[in-house]
Structures are given as C-alpha cells and as structure tokens.
A and B are shown apart, each in its own frame.
Chain A
Amino acid sequence: MNLVELKSVSFGYRDEPVIDQVDLVIRSGDFIGMIGPNGGGKSTIIRIIMGLLEPWSGEVIISKETNIGYLPQTHNFDNRYPISVLEVVLSGLLKVHGITTRVNKKDKQKALGVLEKVGMADLAKRSIGDLSGGQMQRVFIGRALISSPQLLILDEPVTYVDNRFEQELYNLLEIISRETAILLVSHDIGQIVSSVRTIACVNRHLHYHPSNQITEEILESYNCPIDLITHGHVPHRVLHTHLP
C-alpha cells in the first residue's frame, strides 16, 4: 500500500530551488534511509510530506488514513514551558483526537507503555525542561510513536544523543520496522546503512537506491557526495559493489 507519494515535487526559498522534480513512494513495510549532504534538501522533503511547506510544483499524495509519526530535526519549543513528560507524549494524539482533544485512562496507559519502550517511564512526571538532550529526544520519539502510526519519519534522530542511546535507538527502530514503515534521515550514511533496507540519496534531486548496499561510485553517479572513506566506522559491507 502506498502511504506517501511525491510526484515531481519542487520547492525552494526565494528563487533558489532546494529540491527539483523529486519522486518518492513510501509503501508499508519500507525502511528507507534518506541521506545526502547538508543543505541538500532532506529536511525540506520531510517538511513537505508533513504539510509544513507548500511545494512550488508537483503533487503530494497522502491518503487520509495515513497516520505519520514525526520526529523533527530541531525542536522549536520553550523548555521552561510547564508540561510533564507524560503530557508531551500524549500531545502525539492531537492528530487522532482533533481540536477538542481529551485524554482518557486508556490514552494515559498507552503513553506510559510508549515511555517504557523508550526507557523513560520513570521520569513520566518530570517537567520536560528538566531532562537532558538525549532524554528529551527519547520523549519526542515517544510522542511520534503513541498514535501507532503506519509511517514513522525521523529527521536526524541521533543529533543530540550519546552513542549508547544511538545503538538502543537503532535496535528499537529494528523492532518498530516490523510493523511500521520508517523513513530515517541522516547526513551520515555510516550510521544508518546497516539498519535500513533501501536508500534515497537527496542532493536537490532524489535518487532511489533499492537496496542498502551502496558504493562511493554509485553515490557519485547519483551526484550525492558523501564521504564513505573518511568516516572511521563505516560498516564494511557498505563498500560491497552493488550488483546491477
């Protein structure tokens, strides 16, 4: 089933195009790693899918039933706002409940279950502003998960977290990906390539690579310059030649 479909979508700021004629289909069961240089347009594509930006041209097809969980790259919130961790997770239900959103016991239990999953259940009553960056990120992942989305979009999820949580996160995504399609954005291919099933390279254009085996030559042919070599801990199999 197609969850999201972009048909030759273009967008830019002022006269400068950021993405040009991008096509992308996300189906249930997908686990797509979206890579590309900084400023290449990854977050722009995500923000268009999330309805935060209107494309210049092209079509964005998302069926009404598609529920997308979203972890933004940056959080534009006031960390002294008086709100508990539990309440932040519950805010992920806003799109399900609509403007007169109410919370019942079942929702609260669900939120606690999600917090358990991301390892934050003990801190449910804390104020969000009292947490460390990594803990906050776990809470926001919880907020993205609580509505049981068919598609989970994570924009640079490991930016603020330590290595241990990074590994935990990828393990968690592995489990989630059995039931939920995932679009994982990263400027760093080494981090994600062993988790994802397919790769989308974004550098103004989008090249879809239907496997996670990718070489520098292929990346170059996609005009998607990312250093594989200079990166110390690239998994070895990344460098396997991609068989046509």
Chain B
Amino acid sequence: MILDFFNYDFIRFALAASLLGSITAGIIGTYVVTRRMVFITGGITHASFGGLGLGFFLGVNPLLGAAVFGLISGVGVEYLSRFHKIREDSVIAMVWSFGMALGIIFISLSPGYAPNLMSYLFGNILSVSTQDILIMSILLVLVLALFIPFFRLIQYVTFDEDFARTSRVPVSLFKYLLAALVALTAVVYIRVAGIILVLSLLTIPQNTALLFSNNLKKIMWLSIGIGFLGSLLGLVISYAGNIPSGASIIFSLVVLYLLGSAGKAIFEARMKLRKINLSATRFKP
C-alpha cells in the first residue's frame, strides 16, 4: 500500500509541495512568530479572499487577485504600524473581515459558474499542479535570496528595531520586503492549506521548534524538519483514512507540538530531579 502511495503523480506533487512548503514556511513562519505578527498574517490571508473573488469576477486567475490583495494589505498594515496612534489589532480585524466581505460580494456578482469555495477555504494539497510547484519554487528562491545574505540583519532588526535604526541600515526597506514575502507565502500556500488553515503552517512547527532552541538558525532548521514530518504524516493519514489533507496535516502538526511539549516537560522534570538528588547526596553526613 505504501508503494502504491508513491506511484501516483498527484502524491509526488503533494510531496514536492510539502517539501517546498516546509522550507518556505519554516523560514517565513519563524519570522512571523518571533516578530509576533501572527495576527497580521491571518489578516493578510483572509483579506486576500477579496482578491480571489475579484479574480473570479474579472475572469483572471483568482490566485493572482489574491496575491495583489495580500501584498496591498501586508505592506499597508506594515506602513500603518509606523503610526503608534493606530490600534493595530483593530485595523487588522477590519482588513480581515473587509477582504472576506469583498470576496463574497464579487463571487455572488460573478455570472453563472460558482467556484468551489471549499478548496480555497480549506485547501487541497492533492490538487497541486506543475504550475503550482513552479510558483512555489520561485517563491522559495526569493525567500532564500533575502534570508541567506541578510540573515543577521533580519535577526537584529526583528529583535530591536530602534537600535538597528541607529546603525545606519535601511530598516524600513527590509520590513517591507519581508512583509511582501509573508503575504506572498500566505497566498501561494492557500492552494495547499486554504485561507483558514495556512496560518498553521506558519506557526505550529515554529512554536514546536521554539520549545527546544533560542538560536534563530536552529529554530528555522527545526521548523523545516517538523513541518515536513507533519506534512508526510498528514498525507499518509489523509490517504489511509480518506480525510481532507489540510485537516490531517494540521492535526499531525499539533500532535507533534504536543509530543514536543510533553517530551520537554519530562526532560526538564528529570533534570530537576537529578539536581535535587545530587544536592541531597552532597549534604549527606
């Protein structure tokens, strides 16, 4: 049965998408989580639904519309966050729901054919096409082109932006570039995980990794590994149990997170116990 599994083209595409997605989300998600912009990313993803609807309405590729809406909302929120008087979370909630509302309006105005909304809301990794793989690869190249040469700069800017500004480096430029990459990542992986679930790829593996390291590079590598493992497990569960893949992948990622937390708790408890034992023996007369 497992051999059958790898014989299908759609499975091989799904595996490729898992790998590309794990790497991209491992890097971008670590940025999103450590900079605490998870909510912003949720807003961007949902706002892009407006672009999806517009794409249907105009008869162009819906994901292209989603990308445009995602970029505008991502860079827009980053821009607005410079003004401290704005309640950022409220703005995000507005962008979030307004995008969804626009999407519904456009889709209901579109004549005739009603698109399969479910696949955009929840994604389907088993329907990934050659074109999707190509787009995912291009996105990964862009991500690597920013993160490999500028890794430390990105780390320092994220940790203490004010201090980075005193170091005469173009802080704002990098924040906008990163916001754009976050938006593109969210939109591209709507195919795989859907608008509602894409946030999980950007947060669950990263938080699992954060249990074990305070080193940003290691956290990224761990996130990539955990993300890929979770995707593989999810695919197998999806195949074996005939369950939608987005849900089974997220289920697996959460199980890995829980296992990680439990493992860490047990390890720490044992270390504590050993310390107590050591000091107990030391004070024996």
Contacts and interface: CB of A to CB of B under 8 A. Distances in A.
Contacts of B174: 99
Interface residues of A, number: 28
Given A78-B159, A94-B156, A84 B166 contact: no
A88 B155 CA distance: 10
A171 B58 CA distance: 71
Nearest to A95: B167
A94 B153 contact: yes
Contacts of B216: 82-83
Nearest to A50: B166
Interface string B162-194: 111111111000100000000000000000000
B162 A51 contact: no
Contact of A83 (B149, B159, B170): B159
Given A76-B160, A82-B215, A83-B216, A95 B168 contact: yes
B17 interface: no
Contact of B156 (A52, A78, A82, A91): A91
B163 A91 contact: yes
A70 interface: yes
Interface residues of B, number: 29
Interface string A68-109: 101010011110011110011011001100111111000000
A215 interface: no
B131 interface: no
B169 A94 contact: yes
B120 to A, nearest CB: 33
A95 B165 CA distance: 9
A87 B34 CA distance: 15
Contact of A52 (B160, B162, B219): B162
Contacts of A77: 159-160, 163
- Looking at chain A's contact residues, the main secondary structure is loop
Nearest to B210: A82
Contacts of A99: 150, 153, 169-170, 174
Given A82-B34, A82-B219, A103-B152, A95 B169 contact: yes
Nearest to B173: A99
A101 B152 contact: yes
B127 interface: no
Nearest to B216: A82
A76 B161 contact: yes
Interface string B82-111: 000000000000000000000000000000
A127 interface: yes
Interface of B: 34-36, 149-150, 152-153, 155-156, 158-170, 174, 210, 213-216, 219
Closest 3 CB pairs of A and B: A95-B167, A94-B167, A77-B160
Given A82-B34, A94-B156, A95-B166, 7 more contacts: A77-B160, A77-B163, A78-B35, A81-B159, A83-B216, A99-B153, A101-B156
